[in-house]
């Protein structure tokens, strides 16, 4: 996976340097944390830092401001991640013999033509024209879609599409109203195994991400809905229908967070007793080790 900065989305739209800094700290830096942690290449043009953040100030201008803790923090992010290679311009893959169509106008090669050729996602700064989750583009009249990252949720959506094996990492960092943990005991994570070993498809993983907030909301207001049920010994089940007319279940308990302990494809009317017993045992082991290490 690579991410290319959408140069067209930074056009001096911020009203002040402070507004841009607030955006960086609140929205962009959390995404950069994830990109740095997973060592995802963050590509841009060589002259990207000449782009204006306000009518008068460029990125380079604000990086020259000293004795400001917020700007120092942002500068450190940029040094770690993007104020050096990789630049896509040094190895442009745009084909001059190809007719490109995309939601912008500019000299080619550019971020869109590179994203099309590399099959990469774009990252866009907040600008009305680029708020969509994906862009429809054309390569020689053949339609295709480019993913567009605008925040943490769209980053995780794109990261999941890159590889569904990323599902545990995503679940444990996704900005749900309540945090999520997949219990791991002695290096074994039964919930993750259930997610990866039951032939779940991308659309199933996407459905899980979309349905969890509804489960959390229902549990928060004490109203049962189709997404959750109470079993016994403070074990609950997250209920989701997946591809091939199957019923998938993840069992969990509450420990400040939602802690998923195991999961399975449900093939009987009732939740299997052995799966509930397994969940209770994992819960006890998890709480014992968690208490011991804290």
Burial class (CB in 10 A: 0-12, 13-18, 19+), 244: exposed
Residue of 125, 155, 149, 153 whose CA lies nearest to 135: 149
The pTM (predicted TM-score) of the whole model is 0.89
Answer yes or no: are the C-beta atoms of 276 and 235 closer than 8 Å. yes
Question: Which positions of the chain have pLDDT values less than 70?
Answer: 80-86, 292-294
Answer yes or no: are the C-beta atoms of 217 and 177 closer than 8 Å. yes
SS3 169: helix
In eight-state DSSP terms, residue 25 is: I
SS3 72: helix
In eight-state DSSP terms, residue 188 is: B
pLDDT of residue 71: 87
The residue ranges of every structural domain in the chain are 3-152, 164-293
Contacts 24+ apart (CB under 8 A), 140-148: 140/98, 140/99, 141/99, 141/101, 144/116, 146/102, 146/112, 146/115, 146/116, 146/120, 146/121, 146/122, 147/121, 147/122, 148/6, 148/121, 148/122, 148/123, 148/124
pLDDT of residue 293: 60
pLDDT of residue 275: 95
In eight-state DSSP terms, residue 16 is: S
Q: How far is CA 119 from CA 143, 162, 261, in A?
A: 13, 11, 36
Where do we find the tokens 């996704």?
174
Order of strands, edge to edge, in the sheet holding 100-101? 42-43, 3-5, 121-123, 142-149, 134-139, 100-101
């Amino acid at each position: 996976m690579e991410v290319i900065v959408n140069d067209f989305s930074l056009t001096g739209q911020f009203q002040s340097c402070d507004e841009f800094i607030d955006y960086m700290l609140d929205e962009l830096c959390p995404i950069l944390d994830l990109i740095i942690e997973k060592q995802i290449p963050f590509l841009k043009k060589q002259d990207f830092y000449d782009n204006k953040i306000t009518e008068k100030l460029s990125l380079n201008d604000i990086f020259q401001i000293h004795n400001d803790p917020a700007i120092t923090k942002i500068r450190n992010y940029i040094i770690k991640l993007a104020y050096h290679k990789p630049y896509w311009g040094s190895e442009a893959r745009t084909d001059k013999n190809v007719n490109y169509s995309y939601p912008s106008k500019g000299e080619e090669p550019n971020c869109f033509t590179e994203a099309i050729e590399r099959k990469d996602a774009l990252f866009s700064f907040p600008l009305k024209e680029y708020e969509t989750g994906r862009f429809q583009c054309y390569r020689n009249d053949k339609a295709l879609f480019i993913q567009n990252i605008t925040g943490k949720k769209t980053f995780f959506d794109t990261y999941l599409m890159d590889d569904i094996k990323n599902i545990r990492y995503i679940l444990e960092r996704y900005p749900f109203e309540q945090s999520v943990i997949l219990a791991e005991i002695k290096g074994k994570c039964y919930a993750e195994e259930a997610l990866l070993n039951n032939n779940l498809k991308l659309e199933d993983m996407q459905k899980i991400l979309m349905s969890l907030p509804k489960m959390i909301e229902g549990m928060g207001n004490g109203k049962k809905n189709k997404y959750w049920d109470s079993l016994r010994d403070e074990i609950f089940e997250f209920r989701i229908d997946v591809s091939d007319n199957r019923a998938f279940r993840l069992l969990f308990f509450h420990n400040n967070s939602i802690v998923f302990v195991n999961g399975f494809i449900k093939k009987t009317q009732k939740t299997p007793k052995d799966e509930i017993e397994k969940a209770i045992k994992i819960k006890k082991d998890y709480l014992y080790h968690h208490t011991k290490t804290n």
